[in-house]
Amino acid sequence: MTATANGIGRWRIASITIRRFRGVAGEHTFAFDGRSSMLHGNNGVGKSTVALALQWILYGRFPDGILQNNLFERFLAPVGQKGKGYSGEVIFTRGDETLTVHRDTGEFSITHGQECFKDKEAEVKRDGLLGIDMDTFVRAVLLQQSRIRSLLLDEPKERNKAIDRLLGMDVIEHLVDIVKPKDFENAAKERRQQIDAERREHELKEKLLGEQLEQAQATARSLKFLNKDLNPTGLEARYRALSNDLVALGATYKVEVQHLPACKDASQVQAVKNAFASAARAIRMESDLKKRAVPLDVRIATFTSLLTRWQAALNTRDDARQALGRLTATHGERPVIEGESAAAALKAKEIRDELKAVDRLRQLLDDAGEVVRGTDPKSCPVCEQSLPPGLNLPSRLSERVSTLASAEATTLKAKLQGVEGRLAELDQKLAGLSSAEKELTLAQKALDPLVRDAVEALGGAGIAENKVQARLEEALAKDEKEKEQLSTALKAMEDALDALALREGAIREGLVPVIRKREEIAAHEAELRNLSAHHAKSALAVDRLQSLATQFTAIRSALLETKQELATDLLEKAGPRARDLYRRLVSQPVFDTLDVQAQPKAGKVDYVFAVRTGDNTASARDARLVLSDGQLTATALALFFGLAESASHDLDLLFVDDPTQNLDLPSKEAMAGVVAEVALKRQVIVATQDEDFVSFLTNDGFADESVVHHLTGWDGNPKVDSQVPK
């Protein structure tokens, strides 16, 4: 028979009310009246919603690694909806006392008798009244398959974590993971190595700077600098002397330049260099020599260009004139050729006229032949004179036509061809003369503008053609002589500027590097002093890290010892009950004894999750190697029930959510007997979709005095058929 009254001095659940939470779109209250209860129905009708609601209402979150603790708006809101309207209450009773726990999206409160507490104060009061925190609640009160699922894994590390969660050792294990003395030892070692590396680096740099200083001093001495120059005062004096000479050189060439800025240290060298370059450029570009050289260069370029163009144009004109002369010498003068051409043209006209007359006579005779052909005329059809007797006129006319068509016409055509050939030859000669005359005219015209350019360049009023070249050559020679004289002066100025530039470069490349290297050495010495002080502090930090490593080693050892002691104590307390339940739930014929132990191993605590034959320790085997998945599930449940029953707190409740996964029928029947047995001592709420398990529970009398909530369907809210024993 199941217990019907609250356990003396311990809290039981009277009801759970859920609003707009997961599988409840509206509001539903599940009444338990402090009794053991059964929630059963198909998957998806809202059974697990009750377990989730109980966890959330009490603690506002879920076990890490089991359910998500973020995105509550999506996870907790009714299925298919969004929003923050979810809320609920759990009412506990203990004798005549009532405890109401309420949570919604913005507030957590509890009411105990006439007192009401909220938020942090309510959380403290909750833990004090129930005598249980969330970690203990999820391992000793609320059984969900996800809490023991890792016990089925092959990987020992994951199974150890699962047992840690069942025992509540995961918090200690988390601290052990955090407390890592090796990290401090490594940090101390790395810091020592860093200090040594920095010291070696500074020693090498100091040596290198010394070598570089010696090399810079040698370079400075090779550039004639004295020891007294190798300092900021010497640098300033050298630049002052350079500045004075630069200003004096500018005055020599009538260019006013400013003194260079004072240079008291190496940081000002670039500014002095820029000022020197600017002053030197001003002397080059603005000197009297430069002002004279520019227009002189323009005139020389102009005369050179004119001479080149004049000579080219003159050569072209002379070549055209010679070409015309050669044609005239070969073909004769134009009037003679033109006369011959006119005579040839007249002769050709006469021959053409003769050819036309011959053609007309031939046509006339041909027409007469057509008239008399086939007749015997007595007179000439042309002149009408009488014909001699026996004369065959048609035959004579044909002979005459043939003569005119051949001999006379051929002779005339031959004459015409000869005359036309001569005429073409003469026309060709005239065309050649015309082309040569045109070339000569164009060449002459090209000379005319050059004459004007020469007059303009020379500044004269007019120059004869035959004197242009001589005048240009004379002017060019004069300017080139002046240019030569000016170039000598410009070279002297450039030499003076180059000498000053060499001095300026020598200061920068010889004197400045020495000063800068000494500044680097001074800065390095200051840095070394600072580094030494820093290293002294670092050495203290290294000692502290080493001390912390020693302390953390002790803390880690203490944590592992504590974990070993606590885990062993919990397993020893739960051991007899877990072994009893193992025999009943698993019924393994060979390995009939469950043996779970905590053992220290290589700086950690390992668990032996083994089964053996009776008291024969030599027969012990890793449970995962000899049990099926279903048997492992039953074994894990046996361990959970043993731990739950041995836990000390003020909540007389065991909430078992779907305990029969992977179990066969015999194991389900045995599990029903275990649940019914536990229900005799405390309030057991069991949720299941397994109808075989429901039948077994009913057969064992669990439902006789228990509240039964049969969830028959779901349409946004669970459809519940509830039965409360009378």
């008399």: which residue's tokens?
372
pLDDT at 668 > cutoff 50: yes
Cα 323-328-330 angle, rounded to 5 deg: 95
- CA 551 – CA 187 distance, rounded (Å): 15
**pLDDT level of residue 670 (50, 70, 90 thresholds):** very high
Q: H or E segment at 277?
A: helix 269-286
C-beta neighbour count of 387 within 10 angstroms: 16
Task: Look at phi and psi of residue 606 and say left if phi exceeds 0, alpha if psi is from -120 to 50, else beta.
Answer: beta
Return the closest-CA partner of residue 662 out of 643, 636, 626, 680: 636
CA distances (Å), origin 538, targets 186, 193, 534: 15, 11, 6
Which of 214-218, 246-250, 556-560 bottoms out in mean pLDDT, i.e. has the lowest?
Answer: 556-560
Distance of alpha carbon 88 from alpha carbon 20, whole angstroms: 9
pLDDT beyond 50 at 4: no
Instruction: Say what the pLDDT of residue 467 is.
Output: 82
Q: Give me the pLDDT at residue 389, please.
A: 67
Instruction: Tell me the C-alpha to C-alpha distance, in Å, between residue 44 and each of 47, 49, 57, 148, 712.
Output: 8, 10, 21, 22, 10
Query: What number is the average pLDDT over the span 148-170?
Result: 76
In the structure, what pLDDT confidence band is assigned to residue 379 with cuts at 50, 70 and 90? Answer: low
Q: Can you give 93-157 as a three-state secondary structure string?
A: EECCEEEEEEEECCCEEEEECCEEEEHHHHHHHHHHHHCCCHHHHHHHCEEEHHHHHHHHCCCHH
Taking the model in full, what pTM does it have? 0.55
Q: What is the pLDDT of residue 152?
A: 64
Q: What is the mean pLDDT of residues 344-366?
A: 80
pLDDT of the residue at 480: 87
Listed range (59-73, 158-172, 227-241, 438-452) with the worst mean pLDDT: 59-73
State both tokens at 335: 């009037």
| pLDDT tens digits, 283-336 | 988 888 888 888 888 888 988 998 898 888 889 988 988 988 888 888 888 888
- What pLDDT, on the 0 to 100 scale, is given for residue 695? 95
What confidence score (pLDDT) does residue 651 get? 95
Is beta strand 37-41 parallel, antiparallel or unpaired with respect to 707-714? parallel
Residues 6 or more apart from 546 whose CB is under 8 A from it? Answer: 184, 185, 188
For residues 685 and 656, is the Cβ–Cβ distance under 8 A? yes
CA distance 61 to 64: 9
Q: Is 120 exposed, middle or buried (0-12, 13-18, 19+ CB in 10 A)?
A: exposed
Strand, helix or coil at 166? Answer: helix
Res 7 pLDDT > 60: no
Comparing C-alpha atoms, which of 155, 161, 149 is closest to residue 629? 149
* 652 neighbors 10 (Cβ within 8 angstroms): yes
At 613-653, the pLDDT tens digits run 998 989 999 888 888 888 888 888 888 899 888 888 999 99
Angle of CA points 594, 596, 598, to nearest 5°:
165
**Phi, psi angles (nearest 5°) of residue 13:** -85, 130
Mean pLDDT of 269-285: 92
Mean of the per-residue pLDDT values for the chain?
86
pLDDT at 6 (0 to 100): 41
Higher-confidence residue of 77 and 654: namely 654
Q: Is the pLDDT of residue 1 over 50?
A: no
DSSP 553: H
pLDDT band with cut points at 50, 70 and 90 for residue 688: very high
Structural tokens at position 687: 């949720």
Q: What is the pLDDT of residues 28-60, one digit of tens each?
A: 999 999 999 999 999 989 888 999 999 999 999
CA distance 473 to 16: 124
Segment (H or E) for 551: helix 512-586
Q: Which of 184, 181, 172 is nearest to 552 (CA)?
A: 181
Question: Is the per-residue pLDDT at 188 higher than 60?
Answer: yes
3-state secondary structure of 350: helix
3-state per-residue secondary structure call for 412-433: HHHHHHHHHHHHHHHHHHHHHH
* pLDDT at residue 391, as a whole number: 64
Q: Tokens 């010696």 identify what position? A: 214
Query: Would you say residue 134 has pLDDT above 80?
Result: yes
Q: How confident is the model at residue 139 (pLDDT cuts 50, 70, 90)?
A: confident
Give per-residue pLDDT as tens, 433-455: 888 889 888 988 888 888 888 88
pLDDT at 5 > cutoff 60? no
Per-residue model confidence (pLDDT) at position 271 = 93
- Range list of H helices, 373-408: 393-403
Q: Is 1-141+649-726 assigned to CATH 3.40.50.300?
A: yes
Give residue 249's pLDDT: 92
Can you give the pLDDT at residue 473?
86
Burial (CB < 10 A; 0-12, 13-18, 19+), residue 614, is exposed
* 694/60 Cα distance (integer angstroms): 31
> In the predicted model, what is the mean pLDDT of residues 61-90?
76
Span of 235-239, 485-489, 602-606 with lowest mean pLDDT = 602-606
CATH number of 291-463: 1.10.287
Domain boundaries, the chain: 1-141+649-726, 291-463
Q: For residue 371, what pLDDT band results from cuts at 50, 70 and 90?
A: low
More confident: 453 or 241:
241
- Looking at per-residue confidence, does 602 or 146 come out higher? 602
As a whole-number percent, the residues of the chain with pLDDT over 90 amount to: 37
100 class by beta-carbon count within 10 Å (0-12 exposed, 13-18 middle, 19+ buried): middle
- Owner of token pair 């030197």: 280
Tens digits of residue pLDDT in 475-526: 888 888 888 888 898 899 999 999 999 999 999 999 999 999 988 999 999 9
Segment 406-433 mean pLDDT: 83
Whether the Cβ atoms of residue 690 and residue 668 lie closer than 8 Å to each other: yes
What percentage of the chain reaches a pLDDT higher than 70? 90
- How many C-beta neighbours within 10 Å does residue 272 have? 21
